[in-house]
Amino acid sequence: MTRPVPRRRRGAALLMVLVAMATAMTLVLGWLAAQDNSTLVASNASRASAARAAAQSGLEMTVAILESEAPWRSVHDDGWIVRGHVMDNGTVDVRVLDEVTGEPPTLATNLVRLEATSTVGGMTQTAGGLATVHPFDEDTASDLSGYAMYATEDLQIGAQARVQSWNGSGRGARVLASLGDVSLSGRTQRDVRNGELRMHVDHHSGWASGGDASPTALPTILGPIGLAQRVLPPAMENDTDPTDVHVDDHATVVVRGDRAVTGDLTIDRHATVTIEQDCTVRVAGDFEMHPHSAIEVAEGVTLRLIVAGDLRVRDAVIGTRQNDGPHWGTWRQNQVTWVNPDNILITAPIDADDQEWEIERCSLVQGVIEAPAAEIDINRSTLLGRVAGRSLRLRRGARLFFDHRTESGRGLEPLAELVDRLDLMDLHDDGLDTAGRADMIQRLSDLLSRPRDTAITSPVDGWWVHRPVPVELAMTRCGGDTGAWEAAALAAADGQEQP
pLDDT of residue 443: 85
Give the Cα-Cα-Cα angle 194, 198, 204 (nearest 5 degrees). Answer: 125
pLDDT of residue 498: 46
Give the Cα-Cα-Cα angle 443, 445, 446 (nearest 5 degrees). Answer: 65
pLDDT of residue 253: 94
**Cβ neighbourhood burial of 386 (10 Å; 0-12, 13-18, 19+):** buried
pLDDT by residue, tens only, the chain of 499 residues: 566 655 555 566 766 777 777 787 777 666 666 555 555 555 666 777 888 888 888 899 999 999 888 889 988 999 999 899 987 788 999 999 999 899 999 988 989 999 999 988 888 888 999 999 988 888 999 999 999 999 999 999 998 999 999 998 877 789 999 999 999 988 888 888 888 899 999 876 656 554 556 788 899 888 899 999 988 999 887 767 789 999 999 999 999 999 999 999 999 999 999 999 999 999 999 999 999 999 999 999 999 999 999 999 999 999 999 987 787 778 999 999 999 999 999 999 998 989 999 999 899 999 999 999 999 999 999 999 999 999 999 999 999 999 999 998 889 999 998 888 887 766 655 665 777 788 888 888 888 887 776 666 555 556 667 788 888 888 887 775 555 556 666 666 665 544 3
Cβ–Cβ < 8 Å for 117, 477:
no
Q: What's the distance, CA 305 to chain centroid?
A: 28
**Cβ neighbourhood burial of 492 (10 Å; 0-12, 13-18, 19+):** exposed
Return d(Cα 185, Cα 497) in angstroms, integer: 36
Calculated CA dihedral for residues 357, 282, 153, 174, nearest 10 degrees = 80
Return d(Cα 206, Cα 210) in angstroms, integer: 12
pLDDT of residue 210: 47
Return d(Cα 109, Cα 410) in angstroms, integer: 12
Angstrom CA distances, 474 to 70, 112, 128, stand at: 21, 11, 9
H runs (alpha helix) in 111-265: 186-193
Residue ranges of the domains in the chain? 44-137+450-499, 140-414
The 3-state secondary structure of 299-351, one letter per residue:
CCCCEEEEECCCEEEECCEEECCCCCCCCCCCCCHHHCCCCCHHHEEEECCCC
